[in-house]
């Protein structure tokens, strides 16, 4: 009877999962569609490739620095207030970009949106779901959240490109700001409570959790390897539309590529969650880094065509957010869900340092050399280092809390 109860999908979990999935889908769809604004803004003289890339780099750095604090606030006080406030900040950041000024770009799309994404993305939302789900269904619930969270890009990216082509980039930004505001209402649906049969959850203690995590070899190595994930993905999200444009392909290909990443990511994330339960979190994470790096190398080596771009986007889509199930499994397995937001934030800071460098150096390499060759080669090198690091972390000690709970 206890085993059956431990796998219950409670109303609180289901309602919160719907709300979290919607918020994550909108947050990721909005952020990953910002790269479509680069070409029209550059063409209109509002920004340069380097300044837009630096703004996206600032956004990812603000996201990374803000993530541990947003996670700790959510661990302690719950998700409603934190996520609702972040949705308002997200809307304000997009509205500031309408000015086309450097201040609007750096403060709005950089600082404001970066902090807003920190509270409307995986570090906070996976923590909310992890605390409501029992160990027997926690990995499944997280996989569903990550999969649903990728669907926003499938809708938002083509809609953004269509708005740019029909009207202008300012109209597209206005539409994105309205979508950001809608996340406020969804945050009010979050419920609080302990998983069935687990009783009162442990009280969060961010400081003690961080000290314990930084003394754990597996956590530290996984954190270092996570740098590559941010470096690769944010370069692609920021610069792929411009890269294929300078290769002579129409802007619609960039929007379709981002949409394809979104839809394929849903299937890839569910598959990753399934494999984690059978092969182990660390091994699946290393496999994702390897396959992603090989996909990047092949795309860089082959001629850039519509077909090769869409195949590359599909491959990257399967591997995009598929890191969420193994990374969250490692954290929950090592330390349990009580301080998940805080510990994911610490690990994610490494990811966002990589994201900062991927977005910024991508813009610099194009500004000074006229192409992105240096950045593509750097992604391959960094990716292979991550594979070696993750394999060296091993699986020992990565499932203690989850296994004990079962």
pTM: 0.77
Q: Is 162 helix (H, G, I), strand (E, B) or coil?
A: helix
d(CA 145, CA 120): 12
Supply the pLDDT for residue 146: 84
The residue that leads in pLDDT, 400 or 251, is: 251
Q: What is the structure's pLDDT at 315? A: 94
Q: Tokens 């839809």 sit at which residue?
A: 263
327 or 364, which is more confident: 327
Q: Is the alpha carbon torsion for 189, 193, 198, 202 positive or negative?
A: positive
What pLDDT does residue 293 have?
97
pLDDT of 167-188, one tens digit each?
Answer: 999 999 999 999 999 999 999 9
Distance CA 12, CA 3 (A): 19
Name the DSSP letter for residue 167: S
| pLDDT of the residue at 202 | 63
> Which has the higher per-residue pLDDT, 321 or 281?
281
Q: What is the DSSP string of 175-217?
A: HHHHHHHHHHHHHTT----PPTTT-SPPPP-HHHHHHHHHT-H
Which residue reads 């669907």 in tokens?
Answer: 151
Residue 198: predicted pLDDT: 54
pLDDT at residue 95 in the model: 93
Spatial neighbors of 388 by CB under 8 A, at least 6 apart, are none
Q: What is the pLDDT of residues 2-36, one digit of tens each?
A: 333 456 888 889 999 999 999 999 999 898 888 88
Question: For residues 378 and 359, what is the distance between their CA atoms, to the nearest angstrom?
Answer: 12
Q: Do 30 and 90 touch, CB atoms closer than 8 A?
A: yes
pLDDT at 5 (0 to 100): 40
Q: How far apart are CA 90 and CA 169, in angstroms?
A: 17
pLDDT, mean of residues 350-360: 87
More confident residue, 360 or 4: 360
Percent of the chain with pLDDT over 90: 41
**Within 10 A of 43 (CB to CB), how many other CB atoms are there?**
10
* Structure token pair of residue 375: 């950045």
Does the pLDDT of residue 206 top 80, yes or no?
A: no
**Residues ≥6 apart with Cβ < 8 Å to 325:** 139, 142, 143, 146, 269, 272, 273, 276, 281, 284
CATH class of 12-193+205-401: mainly alpha
Higher confidence at residue 58 or residue 2?
58
Mean pLDDT, range 334-338, rounded to an integer: 84
pLDDT of residue 385: 97
Q: What is the pLDDT of residue 90?
A: 97
Alpha carbon of residue 45 to chain centroid: 30
For 82-123, what is each residue's pLDDT tens digit? 999 999 999 999 999 988 888 889 999 999 999 999 999 988
């Amino acid at each position: 009877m206890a085993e059956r109860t431990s796998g219950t999908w409670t109303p609180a979990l289901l309602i919160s999962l719907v709300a979290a999935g919607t918020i994550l889908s909108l947050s990721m769809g909005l952020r990953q569609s910002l790269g479509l604004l680069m070409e029209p803004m550059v063409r209109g003289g509002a920004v340069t490739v380097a300044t837009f890339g630096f703004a996206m780099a600032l956004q990812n750095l603000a996201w990374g620095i803000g993530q541990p604090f947003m996670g700790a606030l959510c661990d302690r006080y719950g998700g409603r207030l934190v996520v609702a406030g972040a949705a308002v900040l997200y809307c304000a950041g997009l509205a500031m970009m309408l000015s086309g000024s450097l201040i609007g770009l750096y403060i709005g799309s950089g600082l404001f949106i970066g902090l807003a994404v920190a509270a409307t993305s995986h570090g906070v939302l996976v923590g909310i779901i992890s605390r409501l789900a029992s160990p027997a269904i926690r990995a499944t619930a997280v996989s569903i959240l990550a999969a649903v969270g990728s669907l926003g890009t499938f809708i938002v990216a083509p809609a953004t490109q269509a708005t740019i082509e029909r009207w202008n980039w300012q109209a597209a930004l206005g539409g994105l700001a309205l979508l950001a505001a809608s996340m406020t209402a969804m945050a009010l649906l979050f419920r609080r409570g302990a998983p069935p049969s687990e009783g009162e959850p442990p009280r969060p203690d961010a400081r003690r959790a961080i000290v314990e995590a930084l003394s754990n070899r597996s956590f530290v190595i996984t954190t270092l390897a996570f740098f590559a994930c941010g470096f690769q993905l944010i370069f692609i999200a920021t610069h792929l539309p411009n890269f294929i444009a300078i290769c002579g392909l129409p802007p619609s290909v960039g929007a379709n590529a981002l949409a394809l990443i979104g839809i394929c990511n849903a299937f890839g994330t569910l598959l990753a969650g399934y494999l984690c339960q059978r092969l182990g979190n660390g091994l699946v994470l290393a496999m994702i880094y390897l396959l992603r790096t090989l996909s990047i190398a092949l795309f860089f080596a082959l001629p850039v065509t519509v077909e090769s771009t869409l195949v590359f986007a599909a491959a990257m889509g399967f591997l995009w957010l598929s890191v969420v199930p193994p990374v969250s499994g490692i954290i929950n397995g090592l330390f349990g869900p009580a301080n998940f937001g805080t510990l994911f934030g610490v690990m994610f800071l490494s990811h966002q340092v990589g994201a900062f460098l991927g977005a910024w150096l991508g813009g610099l390499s194009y500004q000074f050399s006229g192409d992105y060759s240096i950045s593509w080669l750097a992604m391959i090198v960094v990716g292979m280092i991550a594979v070696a690091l993750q394999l060296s972390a091993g699986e020992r000690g990565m499932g203690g809390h989850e296994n004990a709970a079962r």
